A = this chain, B = another copy of it.
Amino acid sequence: MPFTYEYPRAALTVDCVVFGFDEGELKVLLIRRDLAPFKGKWALPGGFVNLDETLEQAALRELREETGVNDVYLEQLYTFGDVHRDPRERIVSVAYYALVALGRHTLQASTDAADAAWFCVSELPSLAFDHHKIVATAIQRLKGKVRYQPIGFELLPERFTLSQLQHLYEAILERPLDKRNFRKKILGMDLLVETDEIEQDVAHRAARLYRFDEAKYRRLVKRGFNFEI
């Protein structure tokens, strides 16, 4: 049962910054801790890494166990290793960030005992450990990456309007974009395919729905294409 080593070892965890997009706002999924330390505080989903799983597998497992989130875009973010980031003992945490499409992907924001909730990135509560720093790093990374990789689509349902896409970019980049220039650019890349559906149940003219052609994107990348907003 106990495990003994010649030298002391840090504990190893993974933490996940799960991004969602809803009502024109970028959101982060947090869970309320039901154990000390920081009992009752909001924190990132995460936990200890098992020895028979990779770091990414650990992140996916924790996401599933703690939030019910299953099919997501996941990418390693940064490893946080300050000596006193956990008050109990030395814990090094490999942080990941995930993008989920609220709407599709049927996620239950609560599965285990503890409750989970979405927060606007601009109105985060006080967080446990150094999780504020982790979230800030994730936002910065997302902001940088979204401009030269087509990862924004991971935050939208499979079919979406051009306005939804524009509002998503505006939320992530934190600046307004010109409608005509945005459409010209994104349609000019020839990566969106027009579906024959339109928005439903809106109190104004319904917009056309598009989907991202990932297969085509991959083909273009092989020929040196660079996505860029």
Contact = CB atoms under 8 A, between A and B. Distances in A.
Contacts of A81: 49, 54-56, 94
A115 B165 CA distance: 55
A78 B90 CA distance: 20
Contacts of A78: 76
Interface in A39-54: 48-49, 51-54
A83 B78 CA distance: 19
A61 to B, nearest CB: 13
A53 B83 contact: yes
B12 A51 contact: no
B10 A49 contact: yes
10 contacts: A1-B6, A3-B4, A3-B9, A5-B5, A8-B51, A10-B12, A10-B51, A51-B90, A79-B79, A81-B94
Copies of this chain in its oligomeric complex? 2
Which of A4, A55, A81 has most B Cβ within 10 Å?
A81
Contacts of A49: 10, 81, 92
Interface in A75-109: 76, 78-79, 81-83, 90, 92, 94
Interface string A52-65: 11111000000000
A10 B5 CA distance: 10
A10 B81 CA distance: 15
Contacts of A206: none
Contacts of A12: 9-10, 12, 92
Contacts of A5: 2-5, 9, 11
Contact of A9 (B6, B11, B82, B94): B11
A8 to B, nearest CB: 5
A37 to B, nearest CB: 17
